[in-house]
Structure 1
Amino acid sequence: MKISITKVAGTLGMLAWGVSVQASDLTLEGVLNDYYEAKGGLEVIRGIKTMHAKGKMSMGGMEVPLEISAKRPGKVHVAFEVQGMKGIQAFDGEKGWSVMPFMGKPDPEEMADDQLKQIQEQADMDGVLVDYEKKGHNVELIGTSEIEGTPVIELKVTKKGGDVMTYFLDEEYKLEVMVRAQTTMMGQEMITESYTSGYEEIGDTVVPMQTTVKMNGTVGQNLVFESVEFNTDIDDALFSMPAKAEKPEAATADK
Structure 2
Amino acid sequence: MRPSIEEPGNANRVTDSTAGTPVVPRHVAIVMDGNGRWAKKRFMPRFFGHKQGVDALVRTVLSCADRGIEYLTVFAFSSENWKRPTEEVSGLMGLVLVAVAKYLGKLASHGVRIRIVGDRSQVSDKLRQAWEQAESSTQHNTRITLSVAFNYGGRWDIVDACRQAMRAGIAPDDLNEATLNRFMALSYAPDPDLFIRTGGEVRISNFLLWQAAYSELVFSDCLWPEFGDAELDAAFADYARRDRRFGAVDSAASAALDKA
Fold similarity call, TM over 0.5: no
Query: Which one has more relative contact order, counting CA pairs under 8 Å at least 6 apart?
Result: 2
Question: Whose helix fraction is larger, Structure 1's or Structure 2's?
Answer: 2
Task: Name the larger-Rg structure.
Answer: 1
Compute the TM-score of the two structures, normalised by the length of structure 1: 0.27
